[in-house]
Amino acid sequence: MKHLAVIAIAAVLLLPPAAGAAPPNASPTSPSLPGLPHPKVMLGEPGRFGGTFLDAQVADPRTFNPILVQEASSSGAIGGLFDGLVEDNGETTETEPALAESWRTSPDGRTWTFKLRQGLQWSDGAPMTADDVAFTFHVIYDSKIPNSLQNVLTVAGKPLEVTKVDALTIRFWTVEPFGPFLRSIGVGILPRHKLDAPYQAGKFNQTWGVNTPPSELVGTGAYIMTEYKPAQRITYARNLHYWRVDLAGRRLPYIERLVLTIVPSQEAHKLLFLQGQTDSYGVRPREYAEFKRGEKAGRYTVYDGGPSFGSEFLSLNQNPRSGLPDYKLKWFQNQKFRQGVAYAVDRQAIIDQVYAGQAIPEYGPESPADKFFFDPHVMQYPYDLDKAAATLAEAGFKKGADGLLRDADGHPVEFIISTNADNQDRVAIGNIIRQDLEKLGMHVTLAPEAFNTLVNKLVESFKWEAMVLGLTGGIEPHNGQNVWKSSGSLHMWNPKEATPATRWETEVDRYFNLGATTVDQNRRKAYYDKYQEIIAEQVPVVYTAIPNAYVAVRNKFGNIKYTAFGGPFWNFPVVYIKP
């Protein structure tokens, strides 16, 4: 998902993020695009048509339904199939027209009117109209279809009102002015002619699962899916009805075919790349020096995107529905316990041993790569085992003569840390954390397991104790409210709370509501600073380190533009194979 925090497979993230753009409704019309004869044109040197791009991802997708996606294994599989009304430029981070060619806002900032491009078609040739846009948002707001987009696309607790004006015009109305509107509205549009029947039959949640024949998946993106073989590969072909053209007026994309190999681990992807069997590889920070040395012989280039926008952290399960014993829930729900754990995380060891020095310590929920919204003044937890022990003691935890840490009722502190086995970085992070917690007298077991098993525990069964995991990031904090608001489906330590379980979660909800209903960007920043400070003080998740974002791409491709915000392929329609 481009506009929503999702569970990341890998520690090195190549998904959108960035910083401080001008207020999205600063102008009553869409931004001009200097040098473009028509806004559907994508810039880049003229390319050649044809050829195949080989890539890989860890883990099979869990769904092909873009409304139900909550993890990167699914968003990565279908990301090229769907487009939104608007999109973010990976270099400038500005919001630009996509399926909508223009928009305007009312003077009070509550009404937004979008004009669709003429002649838009679905990949099966059917016309794409405002009916599809209205249908998409109707589905999103249906309470019988639980999805993370509901968390993001609400203002003051109310959904957007969506009205079809005519075949090419769609209007949105918000109960309050909505500061992050343009950053949030670019969700993938669904084909009504394909999905309305199963929706009316109450079967939408079972529609477009991974058992769906690829020919049934219809979108407006640059590619169509042609084959899916679980645990093997996904293949794609050019969408012959794609709406975007190059500077010469030729219909994009340039590359004819994509093959996405499903691999069991990042190590397997690395091996494929080094053997010449993939064209791109997300280089982990500890591999940076190795890959730089191999550039010439391997005929590839390593691109440096700077600090990534994602996060890597330890989460402790505070969910009363988890089935955990009450005494363990009391540990994890105790702020001092969580702070004690935070002081025991040796971030420098993680930076040195896991990321080979190519990372920075992290203490709060926003990356410093987001230069506008990042708050550098949050509470920090420098590695200090004595401070950790003292903080735990304040919560009634004491180390006995047998070396075991116990709570005030005599229960020894022991729990399991889960993480995805395919991610060696996270396994290494989990081991570093485990070793230091054991120095405090805790008995901690690290249990790596399959990524999709981990996701099931996190969002469905809730049967876990602690977890080392990561999230994708982005330029707009509002789009992470599916994580941070108490009602959020990825509010992982206690998802979908009917009402906030704690006073501090009530405060976080309040600041997110204020940030959403405020247009002035400096005031919005002040609200999001407050949320960052609360999260850092309460530590519902214990942050570790932010790795730098690197990618290696074969030199045979032209128009590669890499940023930590948009990854290497935000402009993939104009990427081509050199002669």
Please report, for the chain, the start and end positions of each structural domain, with discontinuous segments joined by +. 311-547
pLDDT(519) > 90? no
Q: How far apart are CA 316 and CA 420, in angstroms?
A: 16
> For position 37, what pLDDT does the model report?
37
DSSP string for residues in 93-150: --EEESSEEEEEE-TTS-EEEEEEPTT-B-TTSPBP-HHHHHHHHHHHT-TTS--THH
pLDDT: is 155 or 494 the higher one?
A: 494
Find the range with the poorest average confidence among 3-17, 154-168, 332-346.
3-17
pLDDT given at position 340? 98
Percent of the chain with pLDDT over 90: 78
Assigned CATH topology for domain 311-547: Dipeptide-binding Protein; domain 3 (3.10.105)
- What average pLDDT does range 545-568 have in this prediction? 90
Q: What percent of the chain has pLDDT over 70?
A: 93
Could you give the CA distance from residue 94 to residue 102 in angstroms, rounded to a whole number? 14
pLDDT confidence bin for 40, thresholds 50/70/90: low
Mean pLDDT of the chain: 90
Minimum mean pLDDT range among 44-48, 255-259, 290-294, 406-410: 44-48
Look up the pTM and report it.
Answer: 0.77
Mean pLDDT (whole number) for 208-214: 97
In 382-452, beta strands by DSSP E: 398-399, 405-406, 414-420, 443-449
User: What average pLDDT does range 250-270 have in this prediction?
Assistant: 95
pLDDT of 331 over the 70 cut: yes
Q: Are 412 and 405 in contact (CB under 8 A)?
A: yes
Q: Which residues contact 562 (CB under 8 A, 6 or more apart)?
A: 303, 304, 305, 551, 553, 568
299: number of Cβ within 10 Å:
11
Give me the pLDDT at residue 146, please.
Answer: 86
Hey, what are 553's tokens?
């791409």
Contacts of residue 206, defined as CB under 8 A and 6 or more positions apart, other chains included, come to: 198
- Tell me the average pLDDT across 548-552: 94
Q: Which residue has the tokens 């010439």?
A: 296
Q: Which residue has the tokens 């102008």?
A: 27
Q: What is the pLDDT of residue 300?
A: 98
Has residue 26 got a pLDDT over 80? no
